[in-house]
Structure 1
């Protein structure tokens, strides 16, 4: 029928592209690390952990679909785009279908949220509603904050503070100093994914009137921003571990430093479309950091129980 997307292999592939699978480590990593911390502190809850992971992935996919739709509507996505393919701009999916898909995915996230609200109460409702509104307002509405340089702040708040502390809270029903400390390095690493994205898109963002921090301050400043955030990531991890705020096993996350150095070199040397490799490397880094952190505190708990 007219107006309904066909369920062909091509359309399914377009929906997979629209979900941007390479961004999903940014959604999963905070949940993995926070769940490991909850387990180490005796608060692990299987149902809550799995629901938090499902909710985080759905929120990320919903945000990706919303950005695809709204960036197309505002003319930010053009044929000159250097980043991965955007399905609306490429004509693979119709705008109304992408918008409908956005609402469906956020609806599914809300269903997961109902379970988490039943477990942990109204704070989860506030986090969920704020996350959906933030995802829509990033590129949607009359004054999208992603177009005015607030993207980094929002990513840190929702992928760092909200994701880590929220995941810990739905399992422990309380917030620990360790969860707050963990949210900082995880949040900073995920912010750096956006930093590389904005560095790559400076020419097209400037042409479309998208005033990211990268557009405002230029390439050299943006590369320094990436390095400073990375340094703080490891300094906070070290400080929190040696002061006892985080378990000493968290120091295993430092084994990700060689990867961090390699990715940073790419950020410094790559230009244009080649920064897509740095973008993928930055997403890989946050996942590796989170897995090593989790492994470290789990091994410490097992070995010194």
Structure 2
């Protein structure tokens, strides 16, 4: 097959790694939900003159409510485009280093056709060749992949500048610049920190704390405890997504000198660490649910919010990395959906479930 025939829209879509994208959208949804809860005006008593607290709340809504959805959409676009840019940049850097050569063969999820035995063990679907293809390793010229990363980064910068211009939170420029640099140096540069085992710390900081709290601050000019707990949960979800990926690629990474956290810990300890992250995410989520909606919110987070983390940990322990990866990706969206419900429903329908 010629190189030109390999460069297809489908290959570029796979190269963008769409299963990682929920980890970028979910934090924005969580931050926006936390912000909406504090921006939404309360039900003021029919008194004249109005109480001071009611007047202040209405003024706050007029100030932030009018731009709420515009800024939310811009924040979501920034997060999504940055994730795509990082994915392309990592593909480029890993590709020119040769780290993606024969990616996944040792885990039974190769970019070609896995054996039946490996497919059963890992959960790979042998009818879907190329499920884990990388662009450079598939024959796409590295310069094109780097250019695609640059285009996505530029688009993210445009959306970010628009959001900053609307909110006038100019210090967010520094957050955006650090995010771009962190995305490049994850696998780029002479000493990439992703090759030294700091990837999980990075995604926790940027896909959790920075994304959620940055969105909330851009929308309201402040932060609150539920938003902080939501940021921790989003960070843990991003960590679990990366840990499953690194567990799947552990043997390849070790062979290419890529000392991820999974390589440093070893497979058994890395799987145990993943289980701890899953349990911690459920417990912190329950605390956030309690602050948002009392016992109802906590129960929702403990019961509904524990299904996918349990499946994730169980599949990863059984080396079924494809379903584990799908569970990790789905958990980002599932947590965001539960958080949004717990934040929005009590605020919009006071007294729901007797106000508990």
Could you tell me whether the CA contact under 8 Å between 2:75 and 2:215 is conserved in 1? Answer: yes
Are residues 1:285 and 2:341 paired? no
Q: What stretches of structure 1 of length at least 5 have no aligned partner?
A: none
Q: Equivalent residue of 1:41, what SS?
A: helix
Are residues 1:297 and 2:343 paired? yes
For the residues of structure 1 that align with 2:208 and 2:308, how far apart are their CA atoms?
A: 21
For the residues of structure 2 that align with 1:178 and 1:287, how far apart are their CA atoms?
A: 17
Could you tell me whether the CA contact under 8 Å between 1:120 and 1:173 is conserved in 2? Answer: no
Match of 1:75 in 2: 98
1:259 to partner: Cα distance: 2.4
Are residues 1:184 and 2:232 paired? yes
**Which region of structure 1 is more displaced relative to structure 2, 177-186 or 138-147?**
177-186
Residue deviations 1:220-270 (CA, integer Å, cap 9, x gap): 10111111111111222223444x3x4436433331212221222111112
Match of 2:124 in 1: none
Q: Which of 95, 98, 108 matches 2:142?
A: 95
Match of 1:268 in 2: 317
Are residues 1:229 and 2:280 paired? no
Query: Equivalences for 1:80-229 in 2 at 5 Å?
Result: 80-81=103-104, 82=109, 84-91=132-139, 93-118=140-165, 119-229=167-277
How many residues are treated as equivalent by the alignment?
294
Q: Per the alignment, do residues 250 and 74 of structure 1 end up closer, same or farther by CA in structure 2, a change over 3 Å counting?
A: farther
Residue deviations 1:47-67 (CA, integer Å, cap 9, x gap): 110000000000000000000
Could you tell me whether the CA contact under 8 Å between 1:120 and 1:169 is conserved in 2? Answer: no
Q: Equivalent residue of 2:266, what SS?
A: helix
Could you tell me whether the CA contact under 8 Å between 2:237 and 2:328 is conserved in 1? Answer: yes
Could you tell me whether the CA contact under 8 Å between 1:253 and 1:296 is conserved in 2? Answer: no
For the residues of structure 1 that align with 2:335 and 2:289, how far apart are their CA atoms?
A: 15
Could you tell me whether the CA contact under 8 Å between 1:253 and 1:290 is conserved in 2? Answer: no
Note the aligned Cα RMSD (angstroms).
1.9
- TM-score using structure 2 length: 0.78
Residue deviations 1:88-144 (CA, integer Å, cap 9, x gap): 1011x2110000111111000000011122124222101111111000000000000
- Structure with greater proportional helix content: 1
Could you tell me whether the CA contact under 8 Å between 2:279 and 2:309 is conserved in 1? Answer: no
Could you tell me whether the CA contact under 8 Å between 1:28 and 1:53 is conserved in 2? Answer: yes
For the residues of structure 1 that align with 2:192 and 2:103, how far apart are their CA atoms?
A: 22
For the residues of structure 1 that align with 2:207 and 2:229, how far apart are their CA atoms?
A: 14
1:9 to partner: Cα distance: 10
Q: Equivalent residue of 1:143, what SS?
A: coil
Match of 2:59 in 1: none
Decide which structure has the larger Cα Rg and report it: 2
